[in-house]
Every structure is written in structure tokens, then in C-alpha cells.
């Protein structure tokens, strides 16, 4: 069984927070708000990174922020699970099917309060990658960003919990 090295995962997630800079069309996005690795089985957060550096470590605001991430992760995981089991949702405008390493992966984009969320399953694994961005972050770029990130996580393909 392969063991997750959370320092490496944390660095990877922090790198995914960086904004897009499309110099060819003079467009730059904001940072992602959060990048989260969670379980597809129960929605538990395995690792996360946030771009909000204004929240002091070990403060009540940090605890509230982590609790909010946990709640959003559970909600997104439940919605993802429903959509994965509903063929009608897989042909909707919120589903972007891609092929990664000979596996079909559905990337879903959702609106959640004032955030844009994008989630995809790491191929043949029990893990989901979730990106949260503010509502000005274009869905299309969010999907491209998560697809690229999923392609880079080759060491986690086939990873099973338990």
C-alpha cells in the first residue's frame, strides 16, 4: 500500500491556489480560495490549503474557517456522489467529462453561496480534489485548472483508503 506524504500534498495544494495570468488576452484571475483533498467515501478532509493569510493560526477565526471548509466539503461530496450516480446529471452543463490516464473522469462545477466550486475524482481512487474560488473566477478556467491538477497527481491514481 502506498502511503500519502502530506507535506508533499500540502505543497501541491498550495501551488494550485496561484492565479491564472493570461497575457495573450490581458486577463488575470484571483487566487483560488481553497484547494482541498478529500475522501470520496465520507467527504473527510485529508489535506487543504487556503489563500486567506489574514486569519491568525490557532485563532477562533481559523477554527471557524476550517469548520466552514469541512461543511462545504461534505456538501460538495454529497452532491458529487448524487451526480455520479445520475446519468442525467452527467450530460448537464455542470459536468465536464475528461479522459485521464485511460480513465473517464467527470469534473463538476457548482455554485455554492458566493463561491464557485469544482470537484473531480482522482482516477480510480477514493480521493476527490476540490477547488473553491470566488464568484468572479470563470467556471471554464476553474475546470481547466482542476483537470491539469488531476493530471499531475499520478502518484495518487488508484489510491484506496483503508
Angle between helices 139-152 and 6-16 (to 10 degrees): 150
Q: pLDDT per residue over 76-110, tens digit each?
A: 999 999 999 998 888 888 999 999 999 999 999 99
Q: pLDDT per residue over 44-77, tens digit each?
A: 999 999 887 665 565 555 556 788 899 999 999 9
Determine the straight-line distance between the first and last CA of the chain, rounded to whole angstroms: 10
Domains in the chain (CATH in brackets) are 6-156 (3.30.450.30)
Q: Which grid cell is 90? A: 452527467
Round the CA-based radius of gyration of the chain to a whole number and report it.
Answer: 15
Using CA atoms, how far apart are residues 113 and 37, in angstroms rounded to an integer?
21
Q: What is the pTM of this model?
A: 0.86
Using CA atoms, how far apart are residues 131 and 146, in angstroms rounded to an integer?
7
Amino acid at each position: 500500500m502506498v502511503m500519502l506524504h502530506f507535506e508533499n500534498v500540502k505543497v501541491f495544494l498550495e501551488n494550485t491556489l496561484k492565479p491564472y495570468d493570461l497575457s495573450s488576452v490581458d486577463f488575470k484571475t484571483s487566487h483560488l480560495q481553497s484547494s482541498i483533498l478529500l475522501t470520496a467515501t465520507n467527504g473527510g478532509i485529508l489535506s487543504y490549503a487556503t489563500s486567506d493569510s489574514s486569519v491568525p493560526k490557532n485563532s477562533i477565526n481559523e477554527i471557524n474557517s476550517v469548520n466552514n471548509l469541512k461543511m462545504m466539503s461534505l456538501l460538495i461530496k454529497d452532491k458529487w456522489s448524487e451526480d455520479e450516480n445520475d446519468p442525467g446529471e452527467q450530460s448537464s452543463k455542470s459536468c465536464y467529462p475528461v479522459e485521464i490516464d485511460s480513465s473517464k473522469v467527470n469534473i463538476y462545477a457548482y455554485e455554492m453561496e458566493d463561491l464557485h466550486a469544482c470537484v473531480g475524482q482522482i482516477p480510480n481512487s477514493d480521493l476527490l480534489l476540490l477547488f473553491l474560488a470566488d464568484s468572479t473566477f470563470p467556471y471554464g478556467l476553474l475546470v481547466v485548472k482542476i483537470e491539469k491538477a488531476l493530471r499531475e497527481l499520478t502518484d495518487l491514481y488508484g489510491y484506496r483508503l483503508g
